[in-house]
Amino acid sequence: MDIATNPTTPDGNPELADAAPTPHEPPVIRREDYRPFAWLVPSTRLDFRLALDATRVTATLTVERNPAADASPELRLNGDSLTAQSVMVDGAPAEWRMEGPDLVVTLPGDRHVVEVVTTIDPSANTQLMGLYASNGMLCTQCESEGFRRITFFPDRPDVLSTYAVRMEGERDAFPILLCNGNRVAEGEGENGTHWAEWHDPWPKPSYLFALVAGDLVANSKPFTTATGRVVECNVWVRKEDLARTDHALESLHRSMAWDEEVFGREYDLDLYNIVAVSDFNMGAMENKGLNVFNTKYVLADPDTATDADFDAVEGVIAHEYFHNWSGNRVTCRDWFQLALKEGFTVLRDQLFSQDMRGEAVKRIEDVRILRAAQFPEDAGPLAHPIRPDSYREISNFYTATVYNKGAEVIRMMRSMVGEARFRAGCDLYFDRHDGEAATCEDFVKAIEDGAEIDLTRFRRWYAQAGTPRVTMRQAVEGDTLRLTLGQSVPVTPGQPDKLPMPIPLKIAVHSRSGALGAERLVVLEDEEQTFDLSIAGPDPVVSVNRGFTAPVVIERDLQREDLVFLAAHDDDPFARSEALQELAVGHLVGAASGALSADDRQAGEAAIIGAFRSSLADNALDDAMRGELLVLPSETYLFEAMAGSGAAGERKADPGAIHAAREGLKAAIGTALARELAALHARACAVALDHPEGRGARKVKTIALGLVAAADPAKAAQLAAAQYDAADNMTDRQGALMVLCGLDTPHRETRLAVFYERYRDNALVIDKWFTLQALSLHPDVIAHVRKLAEHPDFTLKNPNRVRSLHMAFAGNPKAFHKADGEGYRMVADVILALDPINPQTAARFVPALGRWRRIEPGRAALMKAELERILAAGNLSRDTFEQVSRSLEG
């Protein structure tokens, strides 16, 4: 985006956004520069003559002066790689000019009709932003700034317009023509063409526009809303995929019912279309009435999708559906407010999935994702608040911070006020801002007013980056435990000084005698505060941040025995799993940094093995929860724990040592519990696919195999091959293959070949085949990945395929962090090769290298050198330039 397209400055004048950027340095856009747009666009007509390599677009905009904005005679229409073929104002040729990529028209009066004609080439659009071709069909992606690649338009989320669209194309190539809203007319054209007209009654910003044309079939089922309206729901796919769409359609119905019941939100059109496309940069997109989805989040059946894939489909369908209110009916004023729709919608989809699948396991999964993806971001050079203050390329801010921490921040408000008052606050938010482009501040204010709570200090969570550290000290006085909590928010780029933030923590004080204390919510407001809690019995043990009420790191020195006690007896299942994680993190970081004496090491190992043994033997647990208790902390999370809060001069993470310690612990567990794990595996193998306990059984089956593999590779190879051969579902097949991929066994090659042959025509499953090899523990992963990159099925043009191989590799700590830097080199090469094709996807690889400051000096130098090599290559996209330069700054 050229500076002149800056949607947040009054007139797009470059000087207002940044001082003299060099041609290689894209401008910085700042939140504080926001000004309303000078013109309103009450209605928009779009006419598409569709063809794969030349689509003609005629856009007719009715524009009116915006009384709430500074007057300007000029109308700036954003463009990206567009050429105008004609520009008319009120039916006559207009006075206009290009300014960088934008078209500027001078308008004399207060109300005009502006018509612009452009022609675009969807088949050449490898960025997959705007209108593009995928598998012979045409589809669009407009968030955040893709609409300006279709036609000239004020492409900013605070310009809401009502759209009427006519689309015409060859019937044979595009038998199905879809757009937002309702189809109001259709008919035959000349020379084998046909057309359709669509009208969307709800005013929307351009990022929610969508159009799809292709050879598609639908799985349909009507939904009746709470007020008795019937909504036609369709899931559109290619004919050969139709049999795998039931789960998506049912998930949509469940989401619609849940949003009515829990948030009082009803759907507002008579039609809800979902279309699956195989080339897509992200998971899915909430376009009004016409969601476009990555096939990965639509297609599922037990033969081709794992249980986790089924959950992901349900979660993403729900997420996009929930956006209809949190995002579409109330949208964002500018892109700095992204967490307004994304944080809130992620929270809503998390709560939905908790209700569908069980609260504890879902919460554990969500916290694991937060720690693996968001905590490292918050501790690195790309750290930003959930409401950022500036960006160069907004696509880089679709982050775990905005999405996942954004959800945590809203969840904290909910925890503080309780469900009912939170609902009152949300109702007020929707009432107040329906039909508007709102801000994060509007949301907080609505919760403040509707839930009756003072959130003055809480607003700091929107402004400050960094994961707070909470320290704990305790002293017993009679029947009271005096708990002193302290907090500090680490320094992050551009934010040297931080203020304390309200941190809600659910706490219970148990007794080692077995008496369990009652849960209570405390809110730590200041840098340090003392709370008096009553004691349930002798030897009190504090269970803190139960349910993960706050996205913080708790720093405390709990005795090993206390953690073992909590892991076995805490009444909050989340806290149980936390205690086990804390035990393992302490042990593994100690082992990796060489800080443990031989005795300590042995005692730590014995404690963890004991806790695992208890989990295996605890008949009160179901397998889904047991599985969670048997998962060790991820290596990425261990890096964070080892590197501490990132203060200067602190310890650095040593990926090699962490990997060795973690594998060593797995081997010790596998050896000590060989009999129990084999029994668990055998028991789980006997549970049928559709048995109510089947899911849990499949989960523990593969976890058990992984632990056996660390201790006894030959036995694991044999068990895994048998599991593979007997499998009647993808969860078991993929689990077995994952274990085999890490082993040096002939079963590895044979099963990989069988798998490939069986699924060679199914792109999503072939993605798994690439991922399994790229993520494996095998010593030759780098050689495997190099070879796979030459495979005829590999292409840099399909984001799913790129993620399946290269992103998986970048997430393989052992291979990526190979001490000689070969892994880093490979990822840097991918960034350079991908940047000209798909900059958005290329930039998503940068954070892996950007973490160099927290890694031990030898590897850090190699990672930094690769970032410098990328920067030196020049001609980078805005996306990649921003991520690489920020990763090197500071």
282 binds ligand 0A1 (CB under 6 A): yes
The CA-based angle 341-392-347, given to 5 degrees, is 20
284 binds, among ligand 0A1, Zn ion, none (CB under 5 to 8 A by kind): ligand 0A1
- At position 774, the amino acid (one-letter code) is A
CB of 394 to ligand 0A1, least distance (A): 9
282 binds, among ligand 0A1, Zn ion, none (CB under 5 to 8 A by kind): ligand 0A1
Residue among 140, 281, 306, 800 that touches ligand 0A1 (CB under 6 A): 281
Beta strand 39-49 with 161-170 is: parallel
143 binds, among ligand 0A1, Zn ion, none (CB under 5 to 8 A by kind): ligand 0A1
CA distance 690 to 510: 39
CB of 140 to ligand 0A1, least distance (A): 10
- CB of 402 within 8 A of CB of 382? no
| Candidate list 143, 168, 197, 320, residue with the active-site label | 320
Q: Which among 300, 394, 418, 420 has a CA at the least distance from the CA of 338?
A: 394
CB of 879 to Zn ion, least distance (A): 19
244 binds, among ligand 0A1, Zn ion, none (CB under 5 to 8 A by kind): none
CB of 277 to ligand 0A1, least distance (A): 11
Residue 803 gets which letter from DSSP? Answer: I
285 binds ligand 0A1 (CB under 6 A): yes
CB of 13 to ligand 0A1, least distance (A): 27
Choose between 285 and 700: whose C-beta lies nearer to Zn ion.
285
286 binds ligand 0A1 (CB under 6 A): yes
274 binds ligand 0A1 (CB under 6 A): no
Question: Catalytic residue at 320?
Answer: yes
Site residues for Zn ion, window 306-345 (CB under 5 A)?
Answer: 342, 345
CB of 58 to ligand 0A1, least distance (A): 25
- Region for 163 from its dihedrals, namely left if φ exceeds 0, alpha if ψ lies in -120 to 50, beta otherwise: beta
- CB of 150 within 8 A of CB of 158? no
Q: Is the dihedral of CA 618, 623, 626, 631 positive or negative?
A: positive
329 binds ligand 0A1 (CB under 6 A): no
331 binds ligand 0A1 (CB under 6 A): no
Choose between 40 and 347: whose C-beta lies nearer to Zn ion.
347
Choose between 437 and 805: whose C-beta lies nearer to Zn ion.
437
- At position 23, the amino acid (one-letter code) is P
866 binds ligand 0A1 (CB under 6 A): no
141 binds, among Zn ion, ligand 0A1, none (CB under 5 to 8 A by kind): ligand 0A1
487 binds, among Zn ion, ligand 0A1, none (CB under 5 to 8 A by kind): none
Beta bridge partners, 46, equal 59, 165
CA distance 852 to 142: 34
**3-class secondary-structure state, position 620:** coil
Residue among 241, 311, 334, 342 that touches ligand 0A1 (CB under 6 A): 342
Encoded tokens for 612? 């695992």
Render the burial of 562-598: b for 16+ CB within 10 Å, e for the rest. bbbbbbbbbebbbbbbbbbbbbbbbbbbbbbbeebee
Task: Name the CA radius of gyration of the chain, rounded.
Answer: 28
675 C-beta neighbours (distance < 10 Å), count: 8
319 binds ligand 0A1 (CB under 6 A): yes
- At position 102, the amino acid (one-letter code) is D
CA neighbours closer than 13 Å in the CB half-sphere of residue 165: 25
- CB of 788 within 8 A of CB of 808? no
Choose between 174 and 321: whose C-beta lies nearer to Zn ion.
321
117 C-beta neighbours (distance < 10 Å), count: 17
CB of 764 to Zn ion, least distance (A): 21
3-state SS, 158-227, equals CCCEEEEEEEEEECCCCCEEEECCEEEEEEECCCCEEEEEEEEEEEECHHHCCEEEECCEEEEEEEECCC
CB of 285 to ligand 0A1, least distance (A): 4
- CB of 813 within 8 A of CB of 662? no
Contact flags string 116-155 toward ligand 0A1, x per CB under 6 A: -------------------------x-x------------
| Stretch in the footprint of ligand 0A1 (CB under 6 A) among 247-255, 280-288, 422-430, 865-873 | 280-288
Number of residues forming the site for Zn ion (CB under 5 A): 2
Choose between 141 and 245: whose C-beta lies nearer to ligand 0A1.
141
The residue ranges that bind ligand 0A1 (CB under 6 A) are: 141, 143, 281-286, 319-320, 342, 398
Give me the active site residues, please. Answer: 320
In the complex, which residues of this chain contact Zn ion (CB under 5 A)?
Answer: 342, 345
